[in-house]
């Protein structure tokens, strides 16, 4: 059993962990009482995520007491934080394996050793090794697959722990990426999500003169593949050349996740983001000029150290001006070891919460308005599965990544249909099937 916290990158790492376990002869289970191995793949982007993991680690103790043969492991970003592995080892002596993001490929050896000897195994490289290709993966069944194109991040935004736990940027070779996607298409996947902390800097560390725009063109040429998505993009590296190639690659969906983080230029500077409010607005304008129906989503942090009322109003202002299709909003959480955690002028918790609520309210109304704008339009929808609440309702996504619910039977799954949008909700729209494409 594997439990995953955090982002798509972690979700995809869990697919590799599952592949490795399967290769060793294990079968997946969702019931902890049936499990021979329980792995927690953790996140440390905000403090809350870490607290939850500690809670969960604590209650696994009982499981181990009932089944001493059980192998318990904790891995992922949180383990990679300085001194964390020791802390876990001391506070949670029932854990058998503690391994970092750079050590995933060593899982089979770690399990074999743990079976022979019951003392805890700790394997945390503090530096990234070479990319290990050809690891087995147990991907979520379905029609869309995650494909890593690069690992790590070089940006060192001052609030962010990611470069400290995921290492420097390393791009996979084009041939490895293309071969992987070709295999996925052979297996029936029709959509890929290209993953990286900052996909726009793909290729900068390779010597064969390829960049993200070049990679997209090659992926776009893969026969049988229907949709391409990617995340995450850094506004600073979103070049004109890239915008042109987005407009020219027919399979690349018109949805761009472009985290702005804050609206105030002064705060952006202290965050080390490398662009101003005006530059971000220009970028959005350019994208919308070349891709008129582009859907743009973002990430925003509220309460970064030194954020004044006026700074926060800049964030509210940019939300109004851009009219994002959606935004993930976060309260700033100091991460030990990052520069922002030591900055004076930390914003008091009550003020952070109040600003967060205002921001959420504004964005929710914009998101809903965006859904209302889809009413009576015809959308191309790729159906992905049954809706969570009703097995007679199928869900799919538009190219712009809007969630669509339609009464239909399961035969639509994996197919493209034109859908007439008849109803708008806060987080999705509903409609009726027109015809298969």
Q: Considering only 12-20, 103-111, 331-339, 351-359, which stretch makes contact with ligand 5AD by CB under 6 A?
A: 331-339
Among 1, 2, 40, 45, binds ligand 5AD (CB under 6 A): 45
Cβ–Cβ < 8 Å for 199, 149: yes
Our CA angle for 40, 46, 149, nearest 5°, is 65
Nearer to ligand 5AD by Cβ, of 333 and 363: the residue is 333
Mark out the alpha helices in 196-236 (DSSP H runs): 212-220
- Site residues (CB under 6 A) for ligand 5AD, limited to 157-176: 159-160
3 state SS of 94: coil
Nearer to ligand SF4 by Cβ, of 234 and 352: the residue is 234
Mark out the alpha helices in 47-204 (DSSP H runs): 47-66, 84-91, 107-116, 162-166, 174-186
With binding defined as CB under 6 A, does residue 324 bind ligand 5AD? Answer: no
Partner interacting with residue 153 (select from ligand SF4, ligand 5AD, none; CB below 5-8 Å by kind): ligand SF4
Partner interacting with residue 330 (select from ligand 5AD, ligand SF4, none; CB below 5-8 Å by kind): ligand 5AD
253 assigned ligand-binding residue: no
Q: How far apart are CA 149 and CA 54, in angstroms?
A: 31
- DSSP code for 151: E
3 state SS of 40: strand
Whether residue 289 is preceded by a cis peptide bond, meaning omega within 30 degrees of 0, is no
Which positions touch ligand SF4 (CB under 6 A)? 153, 155-157, 160, 162-163, 197-198, 234
249 assigned ligand-binding residue: no
With binding defined as CB under 6 A, does residue 148 bind ligand 5AD? Answer: no
The minimum distance between CB 82 and ligand SF4, in angstroms, equals 17
Q: What is the H or E stretch that residue 313 is in?
A: helix 309-322
Among 110, 231, 258, 301, binds ligand 5AD (CB under 6 A): 301
Q: How far apart are CA 112 and CA 136, in angstroms?
A: 18
160 assigned ligand-binding residue: yes
Binding-residue pattern over the window 47 to 76 for ligand 5AD, x denoting contact by CB under 6 A? ------------------------------
Q: Compute the half-sphere exposure of residue 145: CA atoms within 13 Å on the CB side of its CA.
A: 23
- Residues of the shown chain interacting with ligand 5AD in the complex, contacts defined by CB under 6 A: 45-46, 159-160, 259, 261, 299, 301, 330, 332-333, 335
């Amino acid at each position: 059993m594997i439990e995953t916290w955090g982002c798509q990158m972690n979700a995809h790492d869990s697919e590799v962990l599952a592949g490795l376990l399967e290769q060793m002869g294990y079968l997946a289970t969702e019931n902890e009482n049936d499990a021979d191995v329980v792995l927690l793949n953790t996140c440390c982007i905000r403090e809350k995520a870490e607290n939850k993991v500690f809670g969960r680690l604590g209650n696994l103790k009982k499981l181990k007491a009932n089944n001493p043969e059980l192998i318990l492991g904790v891995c992922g970003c949180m383990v990679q934080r300085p001194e964390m592995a020791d802390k876990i080892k001391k506070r949670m002596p029932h854990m058998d394996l503690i391994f970092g993001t750079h050590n995933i490929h060593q899982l089979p050896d770690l399990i074999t050793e743990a079976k022979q000897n019951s003392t805890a195994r700790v394997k945390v490289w503090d530096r990234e090794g070479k990319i290990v290709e050809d690891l087995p993966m147990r991907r979520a069944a379905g029609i869309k697959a995650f494909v890593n194109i690069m690992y790590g991040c070089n940006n060192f935004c001052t609030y962010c722990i990611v470069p400290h736990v995921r290492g420097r940027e390393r791009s996979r070779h084009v041939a490895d990426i293309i071969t992987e996607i070709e295999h996925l298409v052979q297996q029936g996947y029709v959509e890929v999500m290209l993953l990286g902390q900052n996909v726009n800097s793909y290729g900068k560390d390779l010597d064969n003169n390829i960049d993200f725009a070049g990679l997209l063109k090659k992926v776009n040429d893969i026969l049988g593949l229907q949709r391409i998505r990617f995340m995450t993009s850094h506004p600073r590296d979103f070049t004109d050349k890239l915008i042109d190639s987005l407009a020219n690659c027919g399979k690349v969906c018109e949805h761009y996740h472009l985290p702005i983080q804050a609206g105030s230029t002064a705060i952006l500077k202290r965050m080390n983001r490398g662009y101003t409010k005006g530059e971000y607005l220009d970028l959005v304008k350019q994208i919308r000029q070349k891709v008129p129906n582009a859907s743009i989503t973002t990430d925003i942090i509220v309460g970064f150290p030194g954020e004044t009322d006026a700074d926060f109003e800049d964030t509210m202002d940019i939300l109004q001006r851009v009219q994002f299709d959606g935004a993930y909003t976060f309260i700033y959480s100091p991460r030990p070891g990052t520069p922002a955690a030591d900055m004076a002028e930390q914003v008091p918790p009550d003020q952070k919460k109040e600003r967060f609520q205002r921001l959420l309210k504004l964005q929710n109304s914009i998101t809903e308005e965006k859904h209302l704008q889809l009413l009576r339009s015809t959308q191309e929808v790729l159906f992905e599965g049954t809706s969570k609440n009703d097995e007679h309702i199928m869900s799919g996504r538009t190219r712009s990544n809007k969630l669509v619910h339609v009464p239909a039977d399961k035969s639509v799954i994996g197919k493209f249909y034109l859908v007439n949008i008849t109803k708008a909700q806060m987080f999705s729209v509903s409609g009726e099937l027109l015809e298969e494409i």
